[in-house]
């Protein structure tokens, strides 16, 4: 484990140089990794582990759409693809990658097959952190570990195929075997992490729920909508409003931030843009800071978790969810976005001038 200094704050991190893939494979050479769930995180993690040479099986509800998806991805029924309970029986490491609501519903089935020496792996601290609400209390004889890629399973897989990695956090909640650290780091490397930084189950879920509701999804949609609506009210066309609100950010500016940071992006914009951004960013920070404090308090109090549990367990949840997503999809801003995306020119090979 290495220590990195972030502006005077030291963090424990693990890099691929320190814990290479060969070391990870050796650490888990006698393990069977059972990936339970093939929805959001399951495919990316399972496929990356398989391609990296680990012994992986998938557990999924037989006959479901995701069962069929797993078959299309090369998992073979009866060999590497099994009903969930059978996969849990066979696995020595159980990657519990179902949705939070599904984890709660299936927990009694999973728990009875968590025999001493196995490892229970999560990619979200929800079930353990809010165990009074979820009922997920692991038996004493198993390791309980977490690797949380900082992005979707789709992004994890795409970056892996591009020879890159998606940074992940890791945590140990329970070390029953004395091998929890070795197991969790090997799995983190195996699923394709760029580097691993240490956290706890509680800190992971607090930061994750805050981020999803905040700058990653909720706040950014709110910011987009506020600016787009303002421009439209002031007489700007849908194309202009969308390009100035979303397209320029995602296609031009955020790649610069990802490459070298916000200051570098500022330095590579016009002096007018620089001055305006420097003058206004603190006003936006101060405006939304109270909202983030309220959000974090709601997360820490368990209110966001309970709201998620209550809504996701309703029989008409999927129907209501689709209605809310449809409202986003059919809003003028995202209708404009669909049109703008369709007009993006395809990349053309450079023409070579021939004499």
Angle among Cα 62, 306, 105 to the nearest 5 degrees reads: 20
DSSP 178: S
Structural element, H or E, at residue 306: helix 303-312
The CA distance from 197 to 185, in Å, is: 10
Q: In Å, what is the CA distance from 301 to each residue of 129, 202, 218?
A: 11, 12, 19
36, 343, 40, 13: which is closest to 195 by C-alpha?
13
A 10 A CB-CB count for 205 gives: 26
254, 236, 168: which is closest to 208 by C-alpha?
168
Q: Supply the angle between the helices 42-51 and 180-190 in degrees, to the nearest 10.
A: 90
> Is residue 353 annotated as a catalytic residue, yes or no?
no
Candidate list 113, 124, 236, 353, residue with the active-site label: 124
Q: Residue 164: phi, psi to the nearest 5? A: -115, -170
Within 13 Å of residue 165, how many CA atoms lie on the same side as its CB? 18
Q: In angstroms, what is the C-alpha Rg of the chain? A: 23
The CA distance from 150 to 170, in Å, is: 11
The CA distance from 103 to 97, in Å, is: 8
Contact 193, 184 (CB under 8 A): no
Active site residues: 124
């Amino acid at each position: 484990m290495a220590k990195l200094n972030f502006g005077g704050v030291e963090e424990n991190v693990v890099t691929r140089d320190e814990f290479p893939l060969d070391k990870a494979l050796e650490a888990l050479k006698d393990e069977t990794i059972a990936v339970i769930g093939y929805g959001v995180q399951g495919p990316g993690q399972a496929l990356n582990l398989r391609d990296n040479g680990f012994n992986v099986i998938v557990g999924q509800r037989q006959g479901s759409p995701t069962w069929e998806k797993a078959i299309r991805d090369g998992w073979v029924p009866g060999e590497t693809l099994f009903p969930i309970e059978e996969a849990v029986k066979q696995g020595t490491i159980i990657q519990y990658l179902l949705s939070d609501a599904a984890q709660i519903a299936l927990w009694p089935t999973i728990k009875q097959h968590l025999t001493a020496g196995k490892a229970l792996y999560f990619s979200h601290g929800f079930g353990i952190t809010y165990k009074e609400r979820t009922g997920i209390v692991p038996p004493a004889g198993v390791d309980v570990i977490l690797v949380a890629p900082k992005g979707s399973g789709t992004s994890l897989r795409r970056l892996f195929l591009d020879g890159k990695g998606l940074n992940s956090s890791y945590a140990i909640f329970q070390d029953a075997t004395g091998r929890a650290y070795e197991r969790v780091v090997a799995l983190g490397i195996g699923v394709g992490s760029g580097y691993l930084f240490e956290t706890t189950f509680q800190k992971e879920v607090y930061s994750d729920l805050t981020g999803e509701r905040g700058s990653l999804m909720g706040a950014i949609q709110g910011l987009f909508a506020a600016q787009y609506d303002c421009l439209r009210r002031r007489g700007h066309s849908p194309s202009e409003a969308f390009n100035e609100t979303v397209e320029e950010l995602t296609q031009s500016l955020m790649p610069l931030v990802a490459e070298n940071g916000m200051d570098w992006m500022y330095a590579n914009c016009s002096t007018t843009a620089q001055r305006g951004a420097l003058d206004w960013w603190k006003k936006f920070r101060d405006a939304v800071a109270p909202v983030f404090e309220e959000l974090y308090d709601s997360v820490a109090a368990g209110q966001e978790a309970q709201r998620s549990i209550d809504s996701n367990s309703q029989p008409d949840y999927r129907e209501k969810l689709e209605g809310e997503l449809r409202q986003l999809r059919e809003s003028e801003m995202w209708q404009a976005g669909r049109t703008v995306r369709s007009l993006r020119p395809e990349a053309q090979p450079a023409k070579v001038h021939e004499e």
